[in-house]
Amino acid sequence: MSSLSHPEPQTFDANTFAAHTLSSPQNLAAILDHTLLKTDATRAQVLQLCHEAASHRFACAMVNPTWVQLAASALQGTGIPVGVVIGFPLGATLSASKRDETARVLKYGAHEVDMVLNIGLLKSATHADYEAVKQDIRGVVELAHGAGAIVKVILETCLLTFEEKLRASELALAAGADFLKTSTGFSTGGATVDDIALLRGVAGTRAGVKASGGVRSLADASAMLHAGATRIGASASVKIVSELSDRQPESSPAPSSGY
């Protein structure tokens, strides 16, 4: 990578997207990744997550790899995809391990893969390290795209400088990422409005931007959407949609897809 400058901008109208998304509970649910990634999550809790994802028509049910088969079985026939995290939460596993994990969860029914970028390599800041970061992502992307799945790359923005956020975003996009994602929710901080705006500025209309970590209310979700997010990962998805339902109980047209 020879420059940290943004790619030639392509306009993404965050306010229009946010207005559409917030126009009905159904539209809002369609961009929420309903998430259960805590260490002590049980079988019963995963099944409840899947039930809620199907009932509310969330974008996906996001689980740890050990629960992919259970979630895929529970969601079979609902049209709600299973999302899974890879190399989570540190991103420091071997690239071969990330690829193997990806191949296995795809076989078991995952359709969305949220992988953690190798943060230590990124911060090592040599050309070889940047190339290794990109290839780490590309290995997962190639497997996922080959199976018709999408990849969201978790940058863990709370650990990065401004320039590192730009560099990480550029590397992820160059490797074929479908979404830039802020956070694991397991580090020192989560999504911020400033980081969402920064990632959207790099992505333009080429990729989605996912806000994750600390989004617990409708106000939080609205702020992220107006900053440029097109997906939100939250364990409080039901509460967030319920807040909007209380304000606007009448339904609106079904959401459109896109970034």
Q: What is the CATH number of the domain that holds 200?
A: 3.20.20.70
Options 114, 178, 195, 220, the catalytic residue: 114
In a domain, 83, yes or no: yes
Give the position of tokens 């990744």. Answer: 33
Does 62 reside within a domain?
A: yes
Range of the domain at 82: 14-247
Residue 58 resides in a domain: yes
- The answer to whether position 22 is within a domain reads yes
Please identify which of the residues 152, 181, 195, 220 carries the catalytic annotation.
181
Q: Digits of tens for pLDDT over the chain (259 positions)?
A: 444 544 454 689 999 999 999 999 999 999 999 999 999 999 999 999 999 999 999 999 999 999 999 999 999 999 999 999 999 999 999 999 999 999 999 999 999 999 999 999 999 999 999 999 999 999 999 999 999 999 999 999 999 999 999 999 999 999 999 999 999 999 999 999 999 999 999 999 999 999 999 999 999 999 999 999 999 999 999 999 999 999 865 544 444 444 4
Count of structural domains, the chain: 1
Could you say which of 98, 134, 165, 210 is catalytic?
Answer: 210
User: Is the dihedral angle over the CA atoms 123, 151, 91, 213 positive or is it negative?
Assistant: positive
Helix (H) or strand (E) holding 150: strand 150-154
- Spell 231-248 as b/e; 16+ CB within 10 A means b: bbbbbbbbebbebbbeee
User: Does residue 5 lie in a domain region?
Assistant: no
Task: Give domain status of residue 253, yes or no.
Answer: no
Active-site residue, 210 included? yes
